[in-house]
Amino acid sequence: MSTIKKLQKMLPEKIDCLLVTCEKNQRYLTGLNYTDGYVVVGKEKAFLLADFRYIEVAKRCESDDLTVIVLENAKLTLGNVFADNGYKNIGFEDGAMTVAALEGLKNKFPNVNFVPCGGLVEEMRVAKTEDEVEKVIKAQRIAEQALDRLLGLMTPNMTEIEVALELEYGMRKLGAEKPSFDTIAVSGSASSLPHGEPRNIKLEKGFLTLDYGALYQGYCSDMTRTIVIGKADDEMKKVYNTVLKAQLAALDFVAAGKKGCDCDKVARDIIYGAGYEGCFGHSLGHGVGMFIHENPRLAGMWDKPLEVGAIVTVEPGIYLEGKYGVRIEDMVWLKENESVNLTNAPKELIELF
């Protein structure tokens, strides 16, 4: 069943159609990667509205489920779709649309009713198809190859920015559309910042955190590895091994049907039990797909069962303020009867220079 057909079956009775404005959701439903257009999904018909810049490639997405229309004037073209199909109650993605955009639509179309519909497409995207999983795996293999390439050319005179750029260049050269998010490459005392930004300084001695991913055909990968510039002392080894123990325990525990909060607790109990209470300030993980952060969540407040087909990260960390930090992250596909780790990169402690 196509994504359009699946969405049509999910549309609530209170709306006549869903106006999809989130670009990634548009791509998910139609296969077209574009901006400045609309997807309108009614209960019997669906329409892709694209302007002249995209119309040639948009026509390749046309099917029995989807009609492509040239978007010459938003008010006229979108208004015709509403009027010709009798759409009076228009659902919209309130999690993706700005207040200004909504007010603009209300001004253009005063005779229709706009109804907030939450994240209908986001709900669909939680459980990945095998084709989607293959794209995530491809993105992950690109990221892993980029890391292998980086480790072969790193020098102690490189800056954090240069390390990040080499990772990103390697991923693009290997077939990525682009990085799936801004690459984190922080060393020394800056490694205590979970989302630190690469600096224009030479690599500091101590831990180097590399958190990055590739975007391949619209799908993200996400991985973190922490290596050592120089030699690790006993305390550094303890921190690293504690994070690794917590991650391995969580990887062994996480599965479809288990609650995200329980998965988080498995790793958190190990880290806190080792004497690092308060040093693991973020959640254990999150869903990955077309967005780098999406549902479900492996977090203390997420008491829902994890869905079959979801891809989630498992990324515990320890951060000692002003000193250093360690994070290790893999992605896991939650199948019906097993959890499959999609990350192949080794996790033994690497010391360079």
Residue 277 pairs in a beta bridge with none
pLDDT averaged over the chain?
Answer: 97
Say yes or no to pLDDT of 36 above 90.
no
Tell me which CATH code domain 3-125 carries. Answer: 3.40.350.10
Total-model pTM: 0.96
Summarize the confidence of residues 285-303 as an average pLDDT. 98
Looking at residue 227, its pLDDT comes to 98
82-132 pLDDT, tens digit per residue, is 999 999 999 999 999 999 999 999 999 999 999 999 899 999 999 999 999
Residue 166 φ/ψ, nearest 5 degrees: -65, -40
What are the tens digits of pLDDT across the range 311-336?
A: 999 999 999 999 999 999 999 999 99
Whether 73 has a pLDDT exceeding 90, the answer reads no
Residue 253, CB half-sphere, CA atoms under 13 Å: how many? 20
Q: What is the percentage of the chain residues whose pLDDT exceeds 70?
A: 100
- In this prediction, residue 74 has a pLDDT band, given cuts at 50, 70 and 90, of confident
* pLDDT recorded at residue 332: 98
Domain boundaries in the chain? 3-125, 130-352
**pLDDT tens digits for range 183-239:** 999 999 999 999 999 999 999 999 999 999 999 999 999 999 999 999 999 999 999
Return phi, psi of residue 269, to 5°: -65, -40
223 forms beta bridges with: 212
Q: Tell me the per-residue pLDDT of 193-208, one tens digit each, with 9 for 90 and over.
A: 999 999 999 999 999 9
**Residue 1 pLDDT class (50, 70, 90 cuts):** confident
Whether residue 63 contacts residue 51, with contact meaning beta carbons closer than 8 Å, is answered with: no
C-beta neighbour count of 192 within 10 angstroms? 22
Identify the CA nearest to 311 among candidates 48, 81, 128, 121. Answer: 128
- Cα distances (angstroms) measured from residue 252 to each of 249, 294, 308, 334, 341: 5, 22, 16, 12, 10
Q: Which CATH class is domain 130-352?
A: alpha beta
